[in-house]
Chain A
Amino acid sequence: MAKDTPPRWDRRMQQRLARGEAAALGELYDRFASLVHMLAHRVLDDDEAADQVTREVFGYIWENPDAYDPKQGSMRSWVAKLTNGQAVHRLRQSGTAALTGGGGEGTAEELEQKVRRATVAARADYIVTSMPKPLRAALELAYRQRTDYRHAARLLGVTEDEARRRLRLGLQLLSTAHTRTLDGTPPPGHGPAPGYGRSR
């Protein structure tokens, strides 16, 4: 089975979706559903809401395959972007509804914080899933199995120097989840996610 390079897979998938191929939709789901659901769940912390976002995101992609621009990045990052936009939109909606109902002062700021934290967490998850496998493997050994880095180096078959490098680089990548979010936090009560505005 020849393996497509990612841009090729992405472009081909886009063409097949545009052509209305149901089998392509199934393959799209099989590849991205767990990512979409995981990111939505990280933001909304609710299984049903995450199911709903999953449904909306795939519905949007199936109806608007041309909205994906391969020049802007991988399909995977586009899907993650749509998911996060939609999940945050929902979180904001339900939070705003609660505000209107409860009417407490200062809770708008709390909602903002909640949105911000959820976005950072989802972004961190995305970074971890997109990280080169060697970095993930090193982090997993260190974090989950509490493996000393020297031992981890032996398990991974690399030098201790390299094990330290991987742990540091992995955390550096992960730490960008913080910085980017502050740059990009939308104000409260705003409309739907950017991706959805482009719907034709």
Chain B
Amino acid sequence: MTGPLDGGRGGGGGHGDDARDEARGEPRIPAPRAAGDDLTLSVPPFPLVLGAYEDEEPEEEPDEAAGGDVAGGDAMDGTAALCLGPGAGDRPADMTHNADDADAARTADPADTADTAHHTTGGTDTTGGTEAAGLSHSVLKSLLGAWALAVCSAEETAAVEVHLGECAACADEALRLRDAVGLLHMERDLDLDPLLRFRVLENCLGRRPARIPVPAWAAPYDAETARLDALLRDFGDSEWDAEVRLRWFEGDRQMTRSTSVAQVLGHLMAVDGLVAGALGLGDPLGTTAPPSPEERTEQFWKSAKQPLAPAVRQPWRGQSHTLIRTVSFAGRGVSELSVSYGDFSLALKDSLLDRAFECWIHAGDIADAVDYPYEPPSGVHLNLMIDLAARLLPHALAARRRAGLASPPHYLMTPGAPGRSLHLEIEGAGGGSWHIALDSPAANASADHAVAQVALEAAEFCRLAAGHISPEEAAAGQDGDREAIREVLFATASLSRL
């Protein structure tokens, strides 16, 4: 057990119990709160659980939290039952028994008590604590929370403590609130292992097979969007304010652009919108939106009246959930549905793979910006992403040729005929072996006609395909036709875009 439970809580509990007993005997001034400064000294200043859940709020719908949940209904009932095991009445005797029973009776309606305090003290607190001695009972009572947390002025602290010697009701509440401070904790919640999601879902589906499964080709998109969403969960203001640097290749030049976390989400959402549109779902940019990912992104960024706010997380996540749900219901044929990106198009199953890849890459950009670690996708998914890149490479080579950036084909090809190829060997999790047709996308890349071999780590290949490193700096093992190798590496970088 760590601090808050055994050390912190255990110690605090003991202390509280003693103090309670004192208070029952004769109300007197409790010792000044020890917790505050001790805690600051001994515990690293991680965000406590309070902060960690900030971002869950919008998802969790405010009225659930604000309404019935805490102020009387749901949470109380829910967690009261949560502790009610079988034979609950049969509890062992305990030192704190009496004190807590008494507390239970007094706790009847915290919202009410505080509300009363709120109304009765309205407008009387402008003294700034300097006239503490003259504070009314209701003001003193309203200060109990701040006192327990040791965040009021020295004069107020003194006035409250004098008062606690005179007012048994306030003394009882003061002890209870000070004990409650001990229940707050400063540990940062552990980031969930992304693989846990896979294992939990796999276990569920093993116990009860899905009647409407998520298609296997949508699984990488499902996993990557969930990973990014989980990364954002713990983000506070400073993380949302981080500057994210996007990098990609245009022609043979590396491009960079400085953006915000929210803008990156907006970018992902705008381009995911292409897939939504192809599926007949609402396009977030409207029906007249351009098909090119870059133009869509620019338009989306510009259309926002103010800089995109963290609130963009919800619509981004909502759209990705809707996409996954829709392709689950859509039946087998939908995987070949054509999704247009303007100057090229992809089958839906490849398009979602491309979206998964981009989601991972940009999640990595965001993680870099806030100095979080971010792992590559699972090997199975990574392999599918690399396979897509390998299939796109002959087209990328052809496009570079058309743009005069690559040398003309050595042979004019008859479609389907075996042609020169480059053997691409990808190492590590997700790796494999591919033959890239060099002379034409229509050619049959034949291992017998391999003129060169390139070996790359999976992660390095993906960094290159994402435009995060230049073809010159890619750590590639090379063998054979130098020109072919160079052109394939440049074509790989050209797969990247904003």
Taken together as a complex, chains A and B put the C-alpha atoms of A142 and B143 apart, in Å, by 13
Q: Of B9, B70, B173, which is in contact with the most chain A CB atoms at under 10 Å from its CB?
A: B70
Interface set of B (CB-CB < 8 Å, partner A): 1-2, 4-6, 9-10, 13, 36, 40, 45, 47-51, 53-54, 56-57, 59-66, 69-71, 73-88, 90-92, 94, 96-97, 100-101, 103-104, 107, 110-111, 113-114, 117-118, 121-126, 128, 142-146, 148-153, 173, 176-177, 179-181, 183-186, 189-190, 192-193, 196-197, 199-201, 203-205, 207-214, 222, 226, 229-230, 233, 314-315, 318-319, 321, 324-325, 328
Our pick among A38, A125, A159, A164 for the contact of B145 (Cβ within 8 Å) is A164
Min CB–CB distance B386 → chain A (angstroms): 24
Q: Taking A81-B81, A165-B142, A173-B70 as contacts, is the C-beta distance between A41 and B190 under 8 angstroms?
A: yes
A159 surroundings in chain B (CB, below 8 A)? 125
Provide a sorted-by-A list of 20 A–B residue pairs whose CB atoms are within 8 angstroms: A6-B61, A19-B212, A20-B212, A21-B211, A22-B212, A45-B1, A55-B200, A62-B207, A112-B92, A117-B5, A119-B83, A127-B70, A130-B75, A133-B62, A172-B177, A173-B70, A175-B183, A184-B80, A191-B86, A194-B84
Min CB–CB distance A7 → chain B (angstroms): 8
* A78 close to B53 (CB less than 8 A): no
Which residue of chain A has the shortest Cβ distance to B148 in the bound complex?
A171
Q: Which of A131-152 contact B (CB under 8 A)?
A: 131-133, 135-137, 139-140, 142-144, 146-150, 152
* B54 close to A136 (CB less than 8 A): yes
Interface set of A (CB-CB < 8 Å, partner B): 1, 3-6, 9, 19-27, 29-31, 33-34, 37-38, 41-42, 45, 47, 51, 54-55, 58-59, 62-63, 72-74, 76-78, 80-81, 84-85, 88, 109, 112, 114, 117-121, 123-133, 135-137, 139-140, 142-144, 146-150, 152, 159-187, 190-191, 193-194, 197
Which residue of chain A has the shortest Cβ distance to B4 in the bound complex?
A121
Min CB–CB distance B290 → chain A (angstroms): 22
A27 surroundings in chain B (CB, below 8 A)? 321
* A77 close to B75 (CB less than 8 A): yes
B148 surroundings in chain A (CB, below 8 A)? 167, 171
* A182 close to B233 (CB less than 8 A): no
Taken together as a complex, chains A and B put the C-alpha atoms of A179 and B149 apart, in Å, by 20
Min CB–CB distance A195 → chain B (angstroms): 9
Q: Which 5 residue pairs of A and B lie closest in terms of their CB atoms, listed nearest first?
A: A186-B85, A77-B78, A168-B145, A20-B211, A167-B145
Which residue of chain A has the shortest Cβ distance to B196 in the bound complex?
A51
B63 surroundings in chain A (CB, below 8 A)? 5-6
Taken together as a complex, chains A and B put the C-alpha atoms of A125 and B49 apart, in Å, by 7
Taken together as a complex, chains A and B put the C-alpha atoms of A85 and B75 apart, in Å, by 15
Assuming A34-B189, A137-B54, A161-B118, what are 7 further A-B pairs, CB within 8 angstroms? A117-B6, A124-B180, A136-B54, A160-B125, A172-B107, A184-B80, A186-B85
* B110 close to A80 (CB less than 8 A): no
Min CB–CB distance B492 → chain A (angstroms): 32
Taken together as a complex, chains A and B put the C-alpha atoms of A38 and B48 apart, in Å, by 12
A47 surroundings in chain B (CB, below 8 A)? 190
Our pick among A51, A123, A149, A190 for the contact of B193 (Cβ within 8 Å) is A51
Min CB–CB distance A47 → chain B (angstroms): 7
* A140 close to B51 (CB less than 8 A): yes
Taken together as a complex, chains A and B put the C-alpha atoms of A168 and B184 apart, in Å, by 14
| Interface residues of A, dominant DSSP | helix
Q: Taking A1-B315, A6-B64, A171-B145 as contacts, is the C-beta distance between A184 and B83 under 8 angstroms?
A: yes
Taken together as a complex, chains A and B put the C-alpha atoms of A133 and B63 apart, in Å, by 10
Min CB–CB distance B55 → chain A (angstroms): 10
Our pick among B2, B76, B212 for the contact of A45 (Cβ within 8 Å) is B2
* A63 close to B205 (CB less than 8 A): no
Taken together as a complex, chains A and B put the C-alpha atoms of A16 and B215 apart, in Å, by 17
A180 surroundings in chain B (CB, below 8 A)? 76, 79-80, 83, 104
A54 surroundings in chain B (CB, below 8 A)? 196, 200
Which residue of chain A has the shortest Cβ distance to B6 in the bound complex?
A117
* A186 close to B86 (CB less than 8 A): yes
Taken together as a complex, chains A and B put the C-alpha atoms of A191 and B186 apart, in Å, by 33
Min CB–CB distance A193 → chain B (angstroms): 7
A181 surroundings in chain B (CB, below 8 A)? 83
Which residue of chain B has the shortest Cβ distance to A46 in the bound complex?
B1
